[in-house]
Amino acid sequence: MNAKTLVIREILHRRWSFVIGVVAVMVSVSCLLGSLALLERFDRATEQELGKINSETEKILKGHEDGIRKAMKGLGFNIHIYPEGQDLAEIYSKGYGEELMPESYVNKLAESKIVTVNHLLPRLTQMIEWPEGETSVLLFGIRGEEPIAHRSGKRKGELLDPVGEGEIALGYELHHRRNIKEGDSVEFRGKTLKVSKVHGRRGGIDDITAWVALPAVQEMLGKPGKINSILALECNCESLDRLGEVTREIMAILPNTQVIEVESRALARAQARNGAKALRIQEMENFVRDREKLRDLRAAFANFFVVLVTLLSLVCITYLTASNVRERIHEVGALCAIGLSHSKVLQVILSRAVLMGLIGALLSVALLSICGVILQSGGVFDLIGFDAYSWTALIIAVPLMSGAAAWLPAFFGARRAPAEVLRNE
Amino acid sequence: MNELSKSNPVVFAAGLGKTYEAKGKKVVALDGISLEVNAGEFVSVCGPSGCGKSTLLLILGLLLKQDEGSLKLSGTDVSDLSQSSKSSFRAEHIGFVFQDFHLIPYLSVMDNILVPSLAKPVENAADRARMLLSEMGIENRCDHLPSALSAGERQRTALVRALLLQPELILADEPTGNLDRENSTIVLDHLAGYTDRGGAVIMATHDNEAMERTGTRIVLDEGRQISSK
C-alpha cells in the first residue's frame, strides 16, 4: 500500500469527475496547440501566396523590362539637342527655340565615336510671315541627315528626305488653299522656289510648315552657319535609363548643349509599363499589409480565446477539486485520525489534479496527432513548431497549472479539523 | 506493542475542559475531566447523547485541543505539540475505531487495513494484516470493497486497521453502535483481548453490555464526570 495506490484507486472510484477534469484540460491544451497550428498554417499559406505573387511579379516585371528594351531597340527614340541657354518653356510653347548654336556641332557629333545615336538632322526653325502667300509660316531649314563617320557604309537609310537647293516642301494648309501642286513654282520671300513636295493633312503645326534647304533658310533669316536644334533619330540604349545614357554621351562631346526626349510610342509604352510595375508593387505591399492586419486580428482572437478557455478549464478543475474534497471529507478526517499529516493528505488530493493535467496534456497531443493523420494535413507538430524543450515545458506546465488551480480547495480540505467530521455528537 | 514505562500511565489527563461556541452561545462539552488509564486497562466512557463522550475521545486522540487542563499520553505532554508532531504521535501510539467505521470506500479490506502504514511504514505490514484478519474471521474478505461487507465485517476491518501498528491506546467511539449482538460481542472480545495483551482501550458507549465488559467506567453528564468505577 502506498500513496500512489490510494490516488489511483480514488480516481478509478470517482472516474467521471476525473474524466471531466481531463476533458477540460484537453480542451484548453487543444485550443492552445490548435491556435498555434492554425496561425502557423496561415503564416505559411501567406508566405506561399506571397512567394507566388512575388515570383509572378518578378516574371511580369522582367517581361516589362524586356518589353521596354525590345520596344526601345525596335523603335528607337528621338531626342532634340538644344543650345545650353535655351529656355525649354519657349520650345514647349512655340515649338522651337530662339537660341542658336553653330551648325558645326552636328559635324562634331557626326565625327565622334557616338554609339547611341543613329541619325543626326540639323535644323533652323522660325515662325515668319510669307508676304506673297499672305500667311504665317513655320520655316524649317533642313539639310538632310549628317552621316556618322564611324558608321560609314553601314548607314541605315534616309529618315527624312532632304529638300534640294531651290526647292520647297509645303504643309497642307499652305498648298491646299492656294491650289499649289508639286512641280509648281512659288515666290517665297523674294525667291522663286520649286515645290518638290506637298504634304497631306497631319492635323498639327506641320500643316503650316514650309521646309527649305538649310543654307537658303540661314540666308533668308540672316543666320549663316547657325542652327537652333539637332534632331537625333533612332537612338538606341541598352539600359532602361536611355535618356541618361544618351545625354551622358552627347554631353561628353557637346558640353554646351542640353538634351530632351521627344514624346514617342516607345516612351509611352515604357511609362505605361513602369506604371504597371509600380501598381503591382503597390498591390503586393497592400497584400502584405492586409495579411499582417488579418494575422494580428487572428492572433489577438486566438490569444483571447485560449486565455478564456484556459481560465474556464482552471475554474472547472478548482470546482471539481472542491467537490471532490467535499465528497471525501470523512475520508480525509479518517486519514488524519490514522496519523497521516496534513501535508500528506494535501499531496494525495493535489495528485489527482496534477494527474488530470498530465493525462489531459498527453491526450491532447495524441489527439492532435490523430487529427493530423485523419485530416491528412500531416506535420501538425511541425506546424506548431515546438522543439523538445517546449513540449517538455508544456507537459510539465499543464499539470502544474492544474495543481495550482486545485490548491486552494485541497488546502482547505486537508486543513479542515478532522474532529468536525468524526464527532458523533 | 510499543514499550511503556511501568511508571507512566498510557493516559494521564487532569482537569480537561472544552467549550464550543455555536450561534454565539457557549456550550460546555467537557468540564474538569481527569482520568488515568494504564496499559492493559479497558475503560468505558458512558453517558447520554451529548454528554461529551466523543469530545473526550477526540481530545485524547489529539484531534481536538482542550481549552483547559493537561494531557499526557504515554508519558509525553502532548498539549503543545505541533500539528505534524500530533499526526506522528497518533500514527505511533493511538488507534481509532469509529461507530461509522470510516473505511475508505474505494480500497479493498486489505488496503484499508494497510492505510496506517502510509503514516508509519512498518515491516511485514501485509503479513500482520492477514494474521489479524484471520483472528477476526474475515481473511476471506481481504479483496472485497467495504460496500460488499456487513456492518460487523466493516467494524472488524476498522478494528484490524486500528490494531495494525500495535498502538498503546485504542480509542473506540461507539464501536458497537451499529452492530447486532453477535458482532458486538466479537468486537468487544477483540478489544478485551487487546487489553489482555497489554494495550489500553478507552471506549465511548451507551451500550450496557459493552460497559459491563470494561474494567473501568467513567460516566459523564453534560460534560462533567459524575462517577468513575
Partner B contacted by A376 (CB < 8 A): no
The CB-side HSE value for A213 (13 A sphere, CA atoms) comes to: 13
pLDDT for residue B200 is more than 80: yes
For the ranges A24-38, A122-136, A139-153, which has the lowest average pLDDT? Answer: A139-153
Q: Please check whether residues A39 and A101 belong to one and the same domain.
A: no
Whether residue A338 sits in one domain with residue A244: no
Residue B54 to residue B19: CA distance in whole angstroms: 13
| Domain limits, chain B | 40-58+82-228
Give the model's pLDDT for residue A236.
67
Decide if B84 touches A, using CB distance below 8 A: yes
Q: Does B166 touch chain A (CB under 8 A)?
A: no
The verdict on a CB contact (< 8 Å) between B119 and A342 is: no
Residue closest to A216 by CA, chosen among A148, A257, A169 = A169
Is any Cβ of chain A less than 8 angstroms from the Cβ of B99?
A: yes
Cα(B129)–Cα(B142) distance, rounded to whole angstroms?
9
- The pLDDT value given to residue A117: 76
Question: Which grid coordinates belong to A31?
Answer: 485550443
Length, in residues, of chain B: 229
Average pLDDT for chain A: 83
Number of separate domains in chain A: 2
Mean pLDDT in residue range A279-299: 85
The 3-state secondary structure of chain B reads CCCCCCCCCCEEEEEEEEEEEECCEEEEEEEEEEEEECCCCEEEEECCCCCCHHHHHHHHCCCCCCCEEEEEECCEECCCCCHHHHHHHHHHHEEEEECCCCCCCCCCHHHHHHCHHHHCCCCCHHHHHHHHHHHHCCHHHCCCCHHHCCHHHHHHHHHHHHHCCCCCEEEEECCCCCCCHHHHHHHHHHHHHHHHCCCEEEEECCCHHHHHCCCEEEEEECCEEEEEC
Can you tell me the mean pLDDT for B85-90? Answer: 92
Return the closest-CA partner of residue A135 out of A97, A180, A165, A184: A180
pLDDT at A373 over 90: no
pLDDT tens digits, one per residue of A190-235:
888 999 999 888 888 888 999 999 999 999 899 999 999 998 876 6
Smallest Cα distance from B58 to chain A, Å: 6
- Which pLDDT score is estimated for A92? 82
- CB distance from B77 to chain A under 8 Å? no
Q: What is the ipTM of this complex?
A: 0.89
| B126 band by pLDDT with thresholds 50, 70 and 90 | very high
A266 pLDDT band, cuts 50/70/90, is low
On chain A, the residues whose CB falls within 8 A of the CB of B120 are: 339
Q: Which of A263, A283, A312 is the last residue of a domain?
A: A263
Q: What is the 8-class DSSP label of residue A82?
A: E
Which residue of chain A has the CA closest to B165?
A338
Q: Which residues are within 8 A (CB) of A132 and not within 5 positions of it... i.e. 6 or more apart?
A: A186, A187, A188, A189
Residues A43-76: pLDDT tens digits? Answer: 888 888 888 888 887 787 777 666 666 655 555 6
A68 within a domain of the structure (yes/no): no
Using the Cβ of B106 and the Cβ atoms of chain A, whether some distance falls under 8 Å is answered with yes
Question: Is there a single domain that holds both residue A86 and residue A142?
Answer: yes
Identify which of A3, A13, A418 has the shortest CB distance to residue B63: A418
Residues in B touching A5 (Cβ below 8 Å) = 107, 111
- Please indicate, yes or no, whether residues A315 and A390 belong to a single structural domain of this protein: yes
Q: Are residues A53 and A20 in the same domain?
A: yes
Residues A55 and A111 in one domain: no
Express as a percent the part of chain A with pLDDT over 90: 31
The CATH class that applies to domain B40-58+82-228 reads alpha beta
Half-sphere exposure in the Cβ direction for A50 (13 Å, CA): 15
Residue A242 within a domain: yes
Q: How many other CB atoms sit within 10 Å of the CB of residue A260?
A: 16
Q: Contact A337/B63, CB-based, under 8 Å?
A: yes
Is B105 an 8 Å CB contact of chain A? yes
pLDDT at A160: 54
Can you give the pLDDT at residue A149?
Answer: 64
Q: Nearest-CA residue of chain A relative to B167?
A: A338
Same domain flag for A299 and A391: yes
pLDDT value at B227 more than 80 = no
Judging contacts by C-beta atoms under 8 Å, the chain B residues touching residue A2 are: 118
Residue B100 near chain A (CB below 8 Å): yes
* CB atoms A423 and B54 under 8 Å: yes
Structure confidence by residue, pLDDT tens digits, A232-261: 876 666 666 667 777 888 888 888 898 887
The per-residue b/e assignment along A183-222, b for 16 or more CB within 10 angstroms, e otherwise, is eeebebbeeebebbebbeeeeeebbbbbbbbbebbbebbe
Cβ distance of A425 and B54 shorter than 8 Å: yes
Domain co-membership, A145 together with A122: yes
Residues B99-110, mean pLDDT to the nearest whole number: 92
Whether residues A101 and A167 fall in one domain: yes
Q: Which residue, among A40, A3, A27, A5, has the nearest Cα to A398 in the 3D structure?
A: A27
Look up the domain containing A253 and give its range. Answer: 77-263
Mean pLDDT of B3-20: 78
Q: Does A344 touch chain B (CB under 8 A)?
A: yes
Same domain, A56 and A81: no
A270 domain-assigned: no
What is the model's pLDDT at position A378? 58
Q: Indicate whether B99 pLDDT > 70.
A: yes
**Chain B environment of A333 (Cβ under 8 Å):** 102
Give A346-362 pLDDT, tens digit per residue: 999 999 999 999 999 99
Q: Are residues A140 and A213 in the same domain?
A: yes
Confidence of residue B5 (pLDDT cuts 50, 70, 90): very low
pLDDT digits (tens, 9 = 90+) for A387-409: 788 888 889 999 999 999 999 99
In chain A, % of residues over pLDDT 70: 86
